[in-house]
Structure 1
């Protein structure tokens, strides 16, 4: 079975474009995963993306995960509620001062509680100041991301409310692939 998937690409071209969300209520913290960990990153990827059909990294080997996470300018920022991982943002420096928010999302149990806007605001701010933490990188001139029709129903609205603007839309057919979540059978 094949499905039609619309992909929207969005960007900010100035730190002034960022419109931060209010901080999340409760005991929510955000911290950088300071040690690249394929196990932890794969857990986040499958826990966040399982119900929205993320598939592009499912076939990656341990070494491939390690390579991606160890690239200069790659960072993973994790939101925690009461010490439990709630979601994450993976950012990566690219050519000419561009930084991509490669992955962003929340584990389903943490959606709809104000954590997503807070985490996205934090991740975008970290994309804008990435060169300050990573000597040798060009200063950020652009932060961009893509979202698609498979993502959660509030994803696009969150990006727009944070100050992103649309710069490209594509539609492609792709095979429908059921994803298992963090382990087979974990999807409700």
Structure 2
């Protein structure tokens, strides 16, 4: 099997004052928390947004696995809607006081429209609002080419970088 080098960066923010906030400026873009947990919606967003980035690790999950993951009290979901259509989402997962941006992404029709910085700002702000001790995320060379730049533009700093050989076409998520 052919392999390719994939670099993964882990980034963190240790203080809310480090956030370089990009506000939502388009009145048609609304970010809302899904306060009623429905694992089917998490599964839909994971598949819908993640398809273009080859997110594959959860595609074979059963309903019970999705329910256990998505309906856990330590996981919260937000969706960015553009004119009523799901444009992007993020999931925050809390563990031992740290909050991870577990999943973050935009749907293909909305990439390049200036929404990513605002959605990421909301993700980081909501993580701090959830009383995080630290906010962290990872991205890799399989993600959007500007993903790392977006994270750094919001104030997240790289604390670990790793390069591994992985099967071509596989995903690290």
TM-score (norm 1): 0.85
Q: Does the CA-based 8 Å contact 1:24-1:114 persist in structure 2? A: no
Quick check: 157-166 or 34-43, which moved more? 34-43
> In 1, distance between residues paired with 2:95 and 2:23?
29
CA distance in 2, matches of 1:56, 1:149: 17
Q: Within 1, Cα distance between the matches of 2:143 and 2:66? A: 22
2:72 is matched with 71
Provide, for residues 145-178 of structure 1, a one-character-per-residue CA deviation record: whole Å limited to 9, x for no partner. 0001000011111100100000001112222347
Task: Count matched residues.
Answer: 170
**CA RMSD of the aligned region, Å?**
1.5
Q: How does 1:105-144 map to 2 (within 5 A)?
A: 105-130=105-130, 139-144=131-136
Scaled by the length of structure 2, what TM-score is found?
0.92
Helix, strand or coil at the partner of 1:159: helix
- Would you say the 8 A contact 2:39–2:71 is kept in 1? no
Partner of 1:101: 101
Aligned partner of 2:41 in structure 1 is 40
Of residues 127, 132, 148 in structure 2, which corresponds to 1:156?
Answer: 148
* Rounded Cα–Cα distance in structure 2 between residues aligned with 1:65 and 1:21: 32
Q: Which runs of 5+ in 1 are unaligned?
A: 131-138, 180-188
- Equivalence for 2:15: 14
Partners of 2:163 and 2:140 lie apart in 1 by: 9
Counterpart-to-counterpart distance in 2, 1:71 and 1:106: 23
Deviations 1:16-53 (A, max 9, x none): 01111131424110111112222211221122111111
d(CA) in 2 for partners of 1:64, 1:51 = 23
Long gaps (5+) in structure 2 = none
